[in-house]
Amino acid sequence: MSSETFRPPAVPLVTHDPHFSIWSPADKLTDSETRHWSNLPMPIHSLVSIDGEAYRLMGTEPRWTPPAKQTKLEVWPTRSIYHFEQNGVSIKLTFLSPLLIDDLELVSRPASYVIYDVVSIDGSEHEVKLYFDVSSETAVNEPDASVVFGPVENAPIPAIKAGMETQNLVETIGDRVTQDWGYVLLAAENATREEMATASQKEATEVFALEGKLPERDVTQPRRVDQDTPVLVLMFNLGKVGSVEVRKYGILGYDDIYAIEYFGKRLRAYWRREGENEKTLLEKATNEFSSILERCEAFDQKLFNELKEAEGEKYAHIATLAYRQCIAAHKLAVDDDGKLLYFSKENYSNGCMGTVDVTYPSSPFFLLLNMDLMKAMIAPLFEYAASERWPWPYAPHDIGRYPHANGQVYGGGEKTEDRQMPVEECGNMLTMVAAIAKVEGNAGFAEEHWDLCKQWAKYLLEKGLDPENQLCTDDFAGHLARNANLSAKAIMGIAGFGMLCQMRGFSEDAEKFLEAAKRMIAQWMEMAEDGDHYSLTFENPGTWSQKYNFVWDKLLGLNLVPESVFKKEIAHYLKVQNRYGLPLDSRSSYTKLDWILWTTILTENQDDAQALIEPVYKFLHESQSRVPMTDWYWTKEGKLRGFRGRSVVGGVFIRMLARKLGV
């Protein structure tokens, strides 16, 4: 797990939801300021004073203070751990976002731990003090915003907070934006008045570096964040540190008060469902610290070992890096009736909420690890599609623009048809419902939404085999008519519905849809035939594309696609891939990271699968695009093409899902 074996392009530090998401875009924690996934500033600083000499542990300020020597970095599913050695002292700095996927309370609870473990390594005792701050920029969207500061009243432990002077709850919508309502929290058990402050960033870091203490004057009046940025500050005076390791931790949290708007109703985050607030957040986070740390350490080791044993160490690093990013691109809320609602945000695209073709590539993660969240992602789409707000016979693209789940605004509104993705989203929804049934062994969830499922399956029968010129999930590559991979998706949706009919005992419909899918595959093979591979679009020789949608023939156990199709495609892919991966199709050298991992399922040859996986690892390890795991990049240059910080990277878990399903 150390940096000697894998160098992430960016390191997850505080990862909870699309707004509260902070990353380090550098090899060393002192080489860069931390940032939001969108690249907006969210600086955090940490310093250490050893026998009166100050060193930077995190961030670039104060610039005249030398960095401590970083010796190792570990990135686990829930933790990122930096190791330092300086002046005879070893410091381990851990960022723990306890996103244990089987614990919805922790998945939703916006509280990360910043843990310091300090010990002398030279046989002598040393006077050690630690400094940590978080910028008020964490709680604003515009740099000239005015913020207020203060203590968390009646908090169970010493705590301070900062937030917008004017609280416009759940108002700011968009893509590359950050939260500007609610409050960022900083707390520490047993901290004294002298160990917590609200101050300007420059003053706080310089006073500590020069004098080993915090400023005596707290910020009390509202301040603009672009005027000597105010920060929340925490200090630990460890006194003399010897051969016995000393541990201190702080809690970095965010109380957004309200999470999202769902068809006009403001809803709380799941963790706030029974009246909890910032005080109970801190109380639970403090009381459960030891057990949470123990659980996360065990979970991290277990998951990494399972990934490594199943698919090798390089795959394990890819999936580990994807873990927190996938979860943190979502928000977990609860409806008035207690119904679980889990919304993705279409990061670095257009900010759509609950996007079907974002949920689809991420689905292997949730099908494998938490079926309740899988259902909670697509249930709101069914509710929306069944309402009068949705007039079309096919599935919607999304449910709104984050954080407003009030109906689609994509492409100009619900009644604008030219920007919809009819075949794409029908195929996605049907396939995901079929996958839920396959994993659970029953079609109960499908039964709840049967009329829409059947309606969409009929639509695909009519429109899916030879698609018209329309958008699909790879629309950034341009519109395509007669898209062979989109056709494959339609066929899988039809076959998936046939399987659902079979599971529900509807033998006549089962035969109708499964036979139709089988017939369409034969037609597909004839129309897409292009010698040693199948074409990008029908009857268009000299073109090719990844046929990743056919993975469901294997995962669902349909066995409708001849094995010869997969063997022919894989052999071609291995001939045309580049240093950093297999291009998406013949039109360009860029690729989609998630689809490469999906495409590996088409082969039963482990060596061929590894030959496709290893360039993806190489890209993440070597790329100079220092951003949270991108899924869209250039396969020759190894550079970012677009997207970052998106939930779709959960799709890399498809190889583990395949194993679970016996593929």
As a whole number of angstroms, the distance between CA 101 and CA 522 comes to: 41
535 in a structural domain: yes
E-state strands within 51-207 = 53-58, 69-75, 79-86, 89-96, 111-120, 126-135, 146-151, 159-164, 183-187, 196-200
Kindly write down the DSSP assignment for every residue of 102-118, as one continuous string. Answer: T-HHHHH--EEEEEEEE
Q: Please, is 246 exposed, middle or buried when counting C-beta atoms within 10 Å of its C-beta (0-12, 13-18, 19+)?
A: middle
Contact between residue 649 and residue 631 where contact means Cβ atoms under 8 Å apart: yes
Residue 315: inside a domain: no
CA separation for the pair 595, 488 (Å, rounded)? 14
Map tokens 């991420």 to a residue: 362
**Within this chain, do residues 348 and 252 fall inside the same structural domain, yes or no?**
no
Report whether 586 contacts 543 (CB < 8 A): yes
486: in domain: yes
Contacts of 317 (CB under 8 A, 6+ apart): 5, 6, 75, 617, 620
Q: Is residue 305 part of a domain?
A: no
Taking the C-alpha atoms of residue 70 and residue 471, their distance in angstroms, rounded to an integer, is 47
Average pLDDT over residues 524-528: 98
- Asked if 52 and 212 touch (Cβ cutoff 8 Å), the reply is yes
Same domain, 371 and 276: no
- Asked if residue 320 belongs to a domain, the reply is no
Q: Is the confidence at residue 473, as pLDDT, over 90?
A: no
Q: Which residues pair with 480 in a beta bridge?
A: 470
Q: Is residue 35 part of a domain?
A: yes
pLDDT tens-digit readout, 375-399: 999 999 999 999 999 999 999 999 9
In a domain, 107, yes or no: yes
pTM over 0.95: yes
The answer to whether the CB of 44 falls within 8 A of the CB of 34 is: yes
CATH of the domain at 264: 2.70.98
- Residues 265-322: tens digit of each pLDDT: 999 999 999 999 999 999 999 999 999 999 999 999 999 999 999 999 999 999 999 9
- How many domains does the structure of the chain reveal? 2
Where are any strands of DSSP class E within 552-634? Answer: 590-592, 632-634
Mean pLDDT to the nearest integer, 120-144:
95
Q: Tell me: do 279 and 355 sit in the same domain.
A: no
Task: Tell me the per-residue pLDDT of 413-432, one tens digit each, with 9 for 90 and over.
Answer: 666 667 789 999 999 999 99
In this structure, the answer to whether residues 214 and 116 fall within a common structural domain is: yes
331 and 17 Cβ atoms separated by less than 8 Å = yes
The answer on 492 and 355 residing in a single domain is: yes
Farthest CA pair distance, the chain:
81
The helix/strand/coil state of 135 is strand
Please report the pLDDT score of residue 412 as a whole number.
Answer: 65
Rounded-to-integer distance, Cα 516 and Cα 528, Å: 18
Report pLDDT for 221: 87
Residues in contact with 63: Cβ distance below 8 Å, sequence separation at least 6, in sequence order: none
CATH number for position 614: 1.50.10.10
Strand order in the sheet with 404-405: 265-267, 260-262, 404-405
CB 215 within 8 Å of CB 199: yes
Confidence of residue 639 (pLDDT cuts 50, 70, 90): very high
Say whether pLDDT at 2 is over 80: no
Residues 545 and 455 occupy one common structural domain = yes
Percent of the chain with pLDDT over 70: 98
Q: How many angstroms separate the CA atoms of 390 and 263, rounded?
A: 13
The terminus-to-terminus CA distance of the chain in angstroms comes to 28
Please tell me the predicted confidence (pLDDT) of residue 542. Answer: 96
Decide if 405 is inside a domain. Answer: yes
Strand partners, 132: 46, 234
- Counting Cβ atoms within 10 Å, is residue 56 exposed (0-12), middle (13-18) or buried (19+)? buried
Q: Are 574 and 608 a contacting pair, CB within 8 Å?
A: yes
Same domain, 258 and 345: no
d(CA 515, CA 573): 30
Q: Among residues of the chain, what percentage have pLDDT more than 90?
A: 90
Q: Which of 269, 297, 325 is the last residue of a domain?
A: 297
For residues 354 and 330, give the distance between their C-alpha atoms in angstroms, rounded to a whole number.
9
In a shared domain, residues 460 and 525: yes
- Tokens for 104, please give them: 């919805």
CB 372 within 8 A of CB 104: yes
Can you give the residue range of the structural domain that contains 494? 339-660
Q: Which residue has the tokens 């310091």?
A: 116
